[in-house]
Structure formats: structure tokens, C-alpha cells
Amino acid sequence: MHGIIVLKENGIIDIADVGATLAVAQEESETIRATARVAPTISDIVGAYKSIVSNSCLELFKSQNKTMGKLWQRNYYEHIIRDETAYYNISNYIINNPKKWSEDRFCK
């Protein structure tokens, strides 16, 4: 799963879902409001997102009487996008990445 988190004023965080691979994630709200006095960290945001998606997936698996395996890798890679060109390049990578899965050596 790849995504872009856009930090805005007034404690609003947008998840720019340019390449989510889980349909469940698309059903969730794309805006998380920070309610704590301290601004959330990237780790807080990613953790909350993983939790929301995991709970939705678990509910889906249970409704189909199936067992859900491991959903997320342990860590994540973050990169600060500093300009419009970088945003364009990264968002295009995210959008086009699934087309190359069959070529990936880890694809099963």
C-alpha cells in the first residue's frame, strides 16, 4: 500500500489516496481530525490508518467465516515531498506501481 499524507492547518490531515490497493481503505473517511493538544506524529497517523483498515478487513473476513492472516508489514518508509515535481513523480509511481506487480520477484 502506498499513500501520501498531506498535513494542513487547523489539525486536519488528508490521506491522499492515490494508489490504495485495498477496497476497504477507500470506504473509510479520507480526513482524520486531530483531537489531542499535541499534533499527531506521522507514526500516530500511520498507526491509526492501519488500525482502521485492519478492523474493517477483520470484519469482512469474519462475515465470510474466514481467518485473516497478517495484513501489514512491521515498519513503513516515509519521505517528505518538498515540491510539486516530487509530488507528481511520487504520485505517478504510486498509480503505476500495481501494473508492474507481475514482474516483481516477490509476486507470488
Would you give the distance in Å from CA 15 to the centre of its chain?
7
Contact criterion met (CB below 8 Å) for 32 and 53? no
Q: Which three-class secondary structure state does DSSP give residue 21?
A: coil
Q: Cell numbers at residue 51, please?
A: 488500525
Please state the domain count of the chain.
1
Assess if residue 108 is contained within a domain. no
Assess if residue 91 is contained within a domain. no
Assess if residue 67 is contained within a domain. yes
Cα Rg of the chain, angstroms: 15
The pTM for the full model equals 0.60
- In percent, the amount of the chain with pLDDT more than 90 equals 26
Average model confidence (pLDDT) for the chain? 76
pLDDT of residue 54: 92
- Residues 61-81 pLDDT 10s: 999 999 988 888 888 888 889
Assess if residue 65 is contained within a domain. yes
Assess if residue 46 is contained within a domain. yes
Domain range for residue 37?
1-75
Assess if residue 63 is contained within a domain. yes
Mean pLDDT of 4-9: 79
Assess if residue 85 is contained within a domain. no
Cell numbers 513503513 correspond to 76
Mean pLDDT of 43-66: 91
Assess if residue 96 is contained within a domain. no
